[in-house]
């Protein structure tokens, strides 16, 4: 019997029993209606929750996709390493594109002198002699790999650079000298100290500090001072290119009384000077000039005030007319700064045939010049090392040097000396030299290969070398 039929039957009945049954039936109906309403509400709640769960599921899927994308990005942009590495800064040579400048390999086009040559050759040899070596650079405030440098050095495809995250056991050596980035490197050295990473800085010279008057004080000096103060305050050790430079650094440190939280170890090493062999393709202009004089003197290095080119030219002016006609001065070096006096002298009639400046010499041309000139003149006011001296010594080329400590350290007495920045003294030295058949034998000067030079640096990094001095 349906509820409708039962309800009709109740309505047809009378009496107390029928009345009670009707009341009970009506209450039951009300309960059923309420339950049905409650069920509808629950359905709505379930539907709302279902929609909410679907929305959350979609959000979680988006988050999962985002996390996967971030993970892929990290994998692509951060260099993941399972062991400590030797990180070598190549910021400046990478930025200016001197990829392999000065590297002693067949096919090199330009022979770079100075710091770039030291940086390139040391990295090349350290990379060949050691494992887990990574070239790095500062870019946009981050320490990243310098795979572009590696690809140009080794050949092959260029890889995408990745971010370097310093980890305990790493060592970082600031081989290059990117003064402009000293603030970023200061942060890097702070992180290195916090993470158990040993930091080392190469000091190539202290010339701008020792002689600020010959530098562009507004641009060079503040950056140079910032860089070297950062090394002296934050690096674990500094490695100087000579003992003379190390002594100058120690004196500077003690004068300024730097405050450190740990000792600073000071080392020095011998700079290399391998001379590559190769086909000698030399401009006829250079050949004719060198072969046109009885005595041809060579100067190698960037033409700037402290290198003493003006002193050499003034010394030639002081020679007797006969001697001056016998002399030639070949200058090989890029154009530096504050060279107005040198340029002015070179335009004089007396130097049109007796002086030649080559600012873009190739490695073959410089090698040929070392082999065919009569003596090297090194007239610098100050140097960190003096690479042309040992390069010339490799060829047995006699040396005429200013009497500064670094030149005496490098040449060890196998050279003729004159008072620094004294044109009269150099003129007397040249006159005596041209009248003398025997000269100090530069071949007795110890000449280190770049492989040996790199081995000395690696011995320092590996803790096999006792520091020259430890500063507190």
Please name the residues in contact with 329: beta carbons below 8 A apart, sequence gap of 6 or more: 296, 297, 299, 312, 313, 316, 351, 354, 355, 356, 377
User: Which position has the higher pLDDT, 22 or 110?
Assistant: 22
Q: What is the length of the chain?
A: 472
Question: In this predicted model, what pLDDT tens digit does every residue of 323-339 receive, in sequence order?
Answer: 888 899 999 998 887 88
pLDDT at residue 344, rounded to an integer: 84
pLDDT at residue 71, rounded to an integer: 52
Q: What gap in Å lies between CA 401 and CA 403, rounded to an integer?
A: 6
Please name the residues in contact with 183: beta carbons below 8 A apart, sequence gap of 6 or more: 226
Q: What's the average model confidence in pLDDT over 96-105?
A: 49
% of the chain residues with pLDDT over 70:
89
C-beta of residue 211 within 8 angstroms of C-beta of residue 472:
no
Question: In this predicted model, what pLDDT tens digit does every residue of 164-191 receive, in sequence order?
Answer: 999 999 999 999 888 888 889 999 999 9
Is the pLDDT at 463 greater than 50? The verdict is: yes
| Token pair in block for residue 117 | 């040559």
Question: In this predicted model, what pLDDT tens digit does every residue of 31-60 receive, in sequence order?
Answer: 777 887 888 888 888 888 888 888 888 887
pLDDT at residue 108, rounded to an integer: 42
Q: What gap in Å lies between CA 454 and CA 460, rounded to an integer?
A: 10
pLDDT at residue 363, rounded to an integer: 81
- Could you tell me which of 37, 40, 9, 36 has the C-alpha nearest to residue 25? 9
Q: In this structure, are strands 171-174 and 86-89 parallel, antiparallel, or unpaired?
A: parallel
Is the pLDDT at 107 greater than 50? The verdict is: no
pLDDT at residue 375, rounded to an integer: 97
Please name the residues in contact with 223: beta carbons below 8 A apart, sequence gap of 6 or more: 179, 180, 182
Q: What gap in Å lies between CA 442 and CA 440, rounded to an integer?
A: 6
Is the pLDDT at 433 greater than 70? The verdict is: yes
- Could you tell me which of 373, 376, 354 has the C-alpha nearest to residue 445? 376
**Least trusted range by pLDDT, from 57-61, 251-255, 426-430:** 57-61
Question: In this predicted model, what pLDDT tens digit does every residue of 229-244 receive, in sequence order?
Answer: 999 999 999 999 999 9
Q: pTM here?
A: 0.79
pLDDT at residue 101, rounded to an integer: 44
């Amino acid at each position: 019997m349906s509820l409708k039929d039962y309800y009709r039957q109740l309505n047809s009945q009378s009496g107390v029993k029928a009345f009670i049954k009707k009341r009970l039936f009506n209450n039951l109906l009300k309960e059923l209606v309420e339950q049905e309403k409650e069920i509808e509400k629950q359905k709505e709640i379930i539907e709302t929750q279902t929609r909410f769960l679907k929305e959350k599921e979609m959000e979680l899927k988006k988050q999962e996709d985002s996390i996967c994308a971030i993970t892929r990005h990290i994998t692509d942009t951060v260099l993941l390493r399972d062991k400590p590495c030797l990180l070598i800064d190549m910021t400046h040579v990478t930025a200016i594109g001197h990829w392999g400048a000065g590297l002693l390999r067949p096919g090199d086009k330009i022979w770079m002198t100075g710091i770039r040559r030291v940086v390139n050759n040391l990295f090349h040899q350290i990379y060949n002699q050691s494992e887990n070596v990574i070239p790095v650079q500062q870019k946009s405030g981050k320490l990243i790999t310098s795979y572009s440098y590696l690809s140009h050095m080794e050949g092959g495809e260029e890889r995408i650079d990745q971010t370097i995250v310093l980890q305990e056991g790493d060592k970082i050596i600031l081989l290059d000298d990117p003064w402009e980035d000293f603030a970023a490197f200061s942060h890097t050295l702070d992180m290195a100290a916090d993470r158990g990473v040993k930091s080392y800085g190469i000091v190539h010279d202290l010339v701008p500090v020792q002689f600020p008057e010959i530098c562009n004080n507004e641009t060079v000096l503040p950056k140079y001072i910032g860089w070297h103060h950062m090394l002296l305050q934050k690096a674990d050790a500094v490695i100087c290119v000579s003992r003379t430079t190390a002594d100058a650094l120690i004196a500077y440190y003690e004068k300024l009384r730097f405050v450190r939280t740990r000792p600073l170890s000071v080392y020095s090493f011998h700079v290399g000077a391998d001379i590559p062999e190769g086909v000698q393709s030399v401009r006829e202009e250079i050949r004719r000039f060198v072969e046109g004089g009885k005595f041809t003197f060579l100067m190698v290095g960037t033409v700037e005030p402290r290198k003493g080119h003006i002193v050499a030219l003034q010394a030639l002016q002081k020679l007797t007319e006969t001697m001056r006609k016998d002399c030639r001065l070949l200058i090989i070096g890029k154009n530096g700064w504050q060279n107005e006096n040198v340029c002015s002298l070179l335009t004089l009639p007396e130097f049109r045939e007796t002086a030649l400046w080559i600012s873009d010499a190739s490695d073959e041309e410089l090698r040929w010049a070392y082999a065919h000139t009569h003596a090297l003149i090194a007239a610098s006011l100050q140097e960190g090392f003096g690479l042309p001296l040992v390069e010339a010594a490799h060829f047995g080329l006699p040396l005429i040097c200013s009497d500064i400590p670094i030149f005496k350290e490098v040449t060890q007495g196998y050279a003729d000396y004159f008072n620094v920045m004294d044109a009269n003294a150099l003129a007397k030295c040249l006159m005596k030299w041209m009248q003398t058949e025997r000269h100090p034998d530069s071949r007795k000067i110890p000449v280190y290969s770049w492989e040996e030079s790199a081995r000395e640096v690696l011995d320092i990094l590996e803790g096999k070398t006792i520091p020259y001095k430890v500063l507190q």
